[in-house]
């Protein structure tokens, strides 16, 4: 169940649509994967993007996040910051002297006892 607030009309309404969220790959019902989608660590962000890459609702998720102007996190396979898509985010600290190969990160396997 979700609560929507209409500022112009000054009303609060309740929208019942839990099935749409429950069908997404990132929503396990317990929030056990939320640390990946809101992490500052590069590896966690890449794992969140890998989960979104296999999701059928990624486009709707990204569209909704952009409409709501989500402040940060991974939404629909894209990293958002200040409500906008960030194409490349530089890691903190000094850049490396020697370039390294890009590591491909796979999706984190969800333990069977956590899958609904």
C-alpha 20/C-alpha 16 separation (Å) is: 10
C-alpha 26/C-alpha 56 separation (Å) is: 11
Tokens 């966690």 belong to which residue?
A: 44
**pTM (whole model) above 0.75:** no
84-86: strand order across its sheet: 72-75, 78-81, 84-86
pLDDT on residue 1: 46
Report the percentage of the chain scoring pLDDT > 70. 69
What's the token pair of residue 7? 């500022």
pLDDT digits (tens, 9 = 90+) for 53-103: 888 888 888 888 888 888 888 888 888 888 788 877 666 677 778 877 767
């Amino acid at each position: 169940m979700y609560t929507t607030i209409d500022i112009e009309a000054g009303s609060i309404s309740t929208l019942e649509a839990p099935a749409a969220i429950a069908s997404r790959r990132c929503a396990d019902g317990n929030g056990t994967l939320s640390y990946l989608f809101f992490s500052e660590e590069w590896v966690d962000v890449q794992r969140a993007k890998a989960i979104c890459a296999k999701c059928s609702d990624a486009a709707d998720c990204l569209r909704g996040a952009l409409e709501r102007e989500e402040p940060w996190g991974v939404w629909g396979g894209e990293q958002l910051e200040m409500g906008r898509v960030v194409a490349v985010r530089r890691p903190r600290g000094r850049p490396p002297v020697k370039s390294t190969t890009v590591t491909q990160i796979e999706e984190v396997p969800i333990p069977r006892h956590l899958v609904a």
